[in-house]
Amino acid sequence: MTKIEQKKSKKGTWIALCCIAALYVLLFLIDNVFPSTSFIVMLTPVLKKGAIYSLLCVSMNLLNGFTGLFSLGQAGFMLIGAYTYAIFTIPVAEHMSVYQYFDGGAIQFSIPEAIGSILGPTGGAFFGSIIAIILAGCVAAVFAALIGIPVLRLKSDYLAIATLGFVEIIRAVFQWNSLGVITNGSNQLRKYTAFSDMKLTIGGATLKFGTIFPFLIVMLCIIVIVLLINSSYGRAFKAIRDDEVAAEAMGISLFKHKMLSFVISCFFAGVGGALLAMFQTTIKAQSFTSAMTYEILLMVVIGGIGSVSGSCIAAFLYIACSEWWLRFLDSGKFLGLSVPFFRDGFRKVVFSVVIMIIVLFFSRGIMGDRELSFSGIAGGVKKLSGRLKKKDIEEKEDTGNE
């Protein structure tokens, strides 16, 4: 961070940092101080899910927007991440009930418990799950490397369809009964460490980190991605996106850079999958369909292909709309009037129509390929969740521009 601060104009940095600090203070208050009114109960899941999806969008954007590889494999790598995380954090005592059809499963080991024996149960859950999340990303990255060797030779739509195929293959493998001792077959995994277990006991007081935790992880990951994009590797990615042949002529190794981008993107997809598993508290291989990838792709398009801040804004907007603001469309009542066609599913119809309008008429999305600039925010109204989030990105963005 110190490097960034030196390069940037001081004022902007300070304001941005203050905003991030304010965001985290607010999240901390939500976790520990605010009473759980209905507003907070609605707000917290939106914040958590929005943060997770921003990471997923940014990781997809790294591949689709910055490297120009049209991959539709996101859901498969999320699945790998989510499963890796869940398998290694289910408490050993619960194995019998979770793997009830597989005699308690093969892996009698739990990272949070192993860490917990040193740091105590709350510390174990907190730091153990961080290790499990990193492991989840690594496993997804290893799979990506293996899949990437054959697949990355393909171009544009062939790549899309091949990665889409891999999602189906991965999904089938994870539901395979013979692997049931590890993956629990087609049954769901549950009872692993979730966001609600994120507590730390400091000086006798127990502090909850349920909402802050995803934000911390996601922010760290996005910082890494942004630094990567602004590095020489990132410039090579963009060169490949703009013209493969020209990039190759300039001495950029196509395969090496495509592979790098693919593996890194999938690492973060795995991390995102692990966070999603924490959010959902139960996971099932069936639910990681290609529709999930499409949803993330549409968020990336709404935000603007090739814009990190756009992806984050879009993810929060999309989640907030679909989980919260547009709920009334499903409830059958609007401003006290009962509207007959406002029934279950109408929200999604409205949503998809809006998406189609964006795709057709505003194909550059919210941000296009620009990043949020400070002056843009200064004028804007500060929305607590989405707006503050992207500010930390914008601040990192500027390092590359100077």
Partner 1 sequence: MSGFLNAYLPHILTGISVGGQYALIAIGYTMVYGILRLINFAHGDVFMVAGLVMVYATASMPMYISIPLVIIATVLLGFVIERVAYKPLRSAPRMSVMISAIGVSYLLQNCALYFTGGLPQTYPVIPFISDSVTVFGQTTKMVTLITPVLTLLLVVILSLLIKYTKMGMAMRAVSKDFETSQLMGIKINSVISFTFIIGCFLAAVGSLLYFTNYQSVIPTSGAMPGLKAFVAAVFGGIGSIPGAVIGAFIIGICENLIKGAGWTTFSDAFTFVLLIVILLAKPTGIFGEKATDKV
The site for partner 1 (CB under 8 A) is made up of 64, 70, 150-151, 153-154, 156-158, 160-162, 164-166, 168-169, 171-173, 175-177, 245, 289-291, 294-295, 297-298, 301, 305, 343-346, 348-349, 351-353, 355-356, 359-361, 363
Least distance (Å) from partner 1 to the CB of residue 299?
11
Least distance (Å) from partner 1 to the CB of residue 351?
7
State which residue, 77 or 209, has the beta carbon closest to partner 1: 77
- State how far the Cα of 179 lies from the Cα of 172, in Å rounded to an integer: 11
Least distance (Å) from partner 1 to the CB of residue 307?
15
- State how far the Cα of 166 lies from the Cα of 172, in Å rounded to an integer: 10
Phi, psi of 199 (to 5 degrees): -135, 150
State which residue, 24 or 325, has the beta carbon closest to partner 1: 325
State which residue, 40 or 164, has the beta carbon closest to partner 1: 164
DSSP state at residue 307? -
- Joined together, the tokens standing for residue 171 give 């999904």
Nearest to 313 by CA among 217, 374, 387: 387
Using CB atoms within 10 A of its CB, is residue 31 exposed (0-12), middle (13-18) or buried (19+)? buried
Least distance (Å) from partner 1 to the CB of residue 105?
19
Least distance (Å) from partner 1 to the CB of residue 284?
14
State which residue, 216 or 355, has the beta carbon closest to partner 1: 355
Query: 222 near 55, Cβ under 8 Å?
Result: yes
List residues bridging with 205 in a β-sheet.
Answer: 202
Query: 214 near 279, Cβ under 8 Å?
Result: yes
State which residue, 327 or 348, has the beta carbon closest to partner 1: 348
CA dihedral of 12, 18, 20, 21, whole degrees rounded to 10: 160
State which residue, 70 or 325, has the beta carbon closest to partner 1: 70
Least distance (Å) from partner 1 to the CB of residue 330?
10
